[in-house]
Amino acid sequence: MAKVLILSGAGISAESGIKTFRDSDGLWEEHDVGVVCNYDSMQKHKTITVEFYDKRRAELEFKEPNYAHKVVANLKKRYKKDIAVITQNVDNLFEKAGLGYDEVIHLHGFLSELRCQNYDCSLIFDIGYKSQKEFNGGLCPKCHTKLRPNIVFFGEQAPMYEELNRHIQDCSLFVVIGTSGNVIGVNTMAQFATRSILNNYEPSSAINDAYFSKVLYKKATEAIDEIEQEIESFLNCE
Ligand code: NAD
């Protein structure tokens, strides 16, 4: 089990031009996220929901990983077994920075994938940057049921949380980058680890930074060198 857990959120991708949810110019300002990200979105607001994710997916083609993604990816490559990279993000910027699909755990799904809505089938398809319609008319090639974005909506089960829980119980250094803590309660998690680092652009009302050993309120690209040094000296002292 990894000694270091790096948990990221929308903030790590902000400097790559992907909007966060809750910042002042975030997606929450432009869209009713409660509509497009809810459990019953695909039933009650299907067109708006599919369009929302089609647009995000198309935009993703032109987004590039920033310095923070690249440093995290290099660390993971160097300390494969000792570092777990877990993200709430549905973008593919860690993958674009060089990590394999098995080297990043996506807690909330993956934008470039669709999933069959038939529970017994549940097949997942990588569609790259296409719209949902462009992929087999939006139908599952195997059982012909309608497809949906492979995104964990609010109120849905998130199977990868089991992985997160396993890692949090075993890690000694917990690093949080770019999350407001509204979806995942990082305060409690920080108390499991011997040492913890919090990096956000600004304080969040959902995070009590007194639980963290080190707090860096600055952009991820500006904080990442210090985070890298902390991780390396921690691992080299173990
Ligand atoms: P959030 O929008 O709630 O909070 C963003 C956090 O990032 C804030 O605390 C802010 O201070 C910080 N931040 C903003 N710019 C930063 C920067 N340059 N460097 C460091 N920190 C910065 O995001 P969240 O907590 O990840 O929210 C939860 C949900 O939003 C997740 O479920 C995620 O799936 C979804 N989401 C994902 C993406 C993506 O995939 N890139 C984008 C938007 C929302």
Q: What is the CATH number of the domain that holds 88?
A: 3.40.50.1220
**Phi-psi category of residue 128: left, alpha or beta, with phi > 0 → left and psi -120 to 50 → alpha:** left
The answer to the question of residue 4 being in a domain is yes
Residue 215's Cβ-count burial label (10 Å; 0-12, 13-18, 19+) is middle
The answer to the question of residue 170 being in a domain is yes
Name the phi and psi angles at 110, rounded to 5: -145, 120
Query: Average pLDDT of each block of 10 consecutive residues along the chain (238 residues)?
Result: 96 94 63 71 80 93 98 98 97 98 96 95 96 95 95 90 95 97 95 96 97 98 98 92
* Residue ranges lining ligand 1, Cβ < 6 Å: 9-11, 13-15, 18, 20-23, 26-27, 88-91, 108, 178-180, 182-183, 199-202, 204, 219-220
From 8, 15, 20, 215, the mutation candidate for ligand 1 (largest count of ligand atoms within 8 A of CB) is: 20
From 12, 13, 21, 94, the mutation candidate for ligand 1 (largest count of ligand atoms within 8 A of CB) is: 21
- State the pLDDT at residue 26: 61
Number of domains in the chain: 1
- State the pLDDT at residue 124: 97
The answer to the question of residue 11 being in a domain is yes
Beta bridge partners, 217, equal 200
Domain encompassing residue 178: 1-18+64-108+152-238
The answer to the question of residue 104 being in a domain is yes
| CA pair distance 4, 181, nearest whole angstrom | 19
Cα separation values, 102 from 85, 99, 168, Å: 10, 8, 18
Q: Which of 7, 178, 13 is nearest to 92 (CA)?
A: 13
- Interaxial angle between packed helices 67-78 and 220-237, expressed in degrees from 0 to 180 and rounded to the nearest 10: 10
The answer to the question of residue 41 being in a domain is no
Q: Which of 69, 106, 108, 167 is catalytic?
A: 108
The answer to the question of residue 113 being in a domain is no
Which residue, by CA, sits nearest to atom 16 of ligand 1?
Answer: 11
Q: Is 108 a catalytic residue?
A: yes
From ligand 1's centre to the CA of 35, what distance in Å? 18
The answer to the question of residue 228 being in a domain is yes
- State the pLDDT at residue 24: 63
The answer to the question of residue 83 being in a domain is yes
- State the pLDDT at residue 30: 63
Helices (H) and strands (E) in the chain, counts: 10, 9
